[in-house]
Structures are given as structure tokens and as C-alpha cells.
Amino acid sequence: MDLKEKINEEIKLAMKARDKTRLNVVRYLKKLFIENDTSTKPTNELDIIISYAKKTKDSLALYPTGSDQHTEITAEVKILSEFLPTQMEEQEVVKIINDIKTKLDTPNMGAIMKELSPQIKGMFDGKRASQLVKDAL
């Protein structure tokens, strides 16, 4: 089952369960998929989910902990995480960074990040990975 079919199934299940938050999230994902299908440069569906999840996580900082909005966004992030690939552990990323560093003649931030980013996309926070690369240098 591809992501579009899975989203359609999730919409049906959320409607039956009367889960408003889940329904809103999966409907928005479906909207993003439809917009992507009609765009001039369509992208991968997983990239759409990753981008939406990142924006949603970033918006958590705008609301104080414990507020209704913060609670709602936290629930949305949890729902979105079901559609994302399995998250990597920090030790795995450090190992990849060290492997890349040993392969390069003159390791620098840009060169390491260029190789690292595609390997961790959607599975590890890019900001944290950048900090790990700085620490490794």
C-alpha cells in the first residue's frame, strides 16, 4: 500500500473513530499530496510528510508548554511520526559522520553535511546533525 492509499484509509478510520485531530492531520496530508500531483515539479510523498512534520515540530516553540495549542501540536506531531521512517539514534549518526570524515581528504562542515544529509533525511533532526558534525570537527 503506497502512502496515498494509506492516507485515504486513515481518513476513513479517523472518521469512524470520530478522532478530530487525526482526521485534520491526514486530510491536510491528502491536500498536500493533491497539490503536489498538480504542481509543475512534483516531489516524493515522503518528502512532503517530512517537510510538514518539520514545520509542525518547529511551531511547537511558538506556544508555551501546557497550553492548548502546544498540546494539539504535540498530538499532531505524534500522528505524523507514524508516517515517517524509523528515527535514527544519535550514536548511529555519529558513526556515519566519522565514516564520512575518514573518507574525505580534507573534512569540512559542508562536505560532511553534503554526504550526511541524504542518508539521514527524515530519520534524524538536521539541526542536531549539524551540531554533531561541528563537534566532530
> In this predicted model, what pLDDT tens digit does every residue of 73-106 receive, in sequence order?
999 989 988 888 777 888 888 888 888 888 877 7
C-alpha cell at 11: 481518513
In this predicted structure, the answer to whether residue 1 has a pLDDT above a threshold of 70 is no
In this predicted structure, the answer to whether residue 107 has a pLDDT above a threshold of 80 is no
Residues 76-98, buried b or exposed e (16+ Cβ, 10 A)?
bbebbeebbeeebeeeebeebbe
CATH topology of domain 3-81: Hypothetical Protein Yqey; Chain: A; domain1 (1.10.1510)
In this predicted structure, the answer to whether residue 59 has a pLDDT above a threshold of 90 is no
Give the distance, in angstroms, between the CA of residue 3 and the centroid of all CA atoms in the same chain: 14
CB 7 within 8 A of CB 26: yes
Please give the Cα distance from 64 to 81 (Å, whole number). 22
C-alpha cell at 92: 548511529
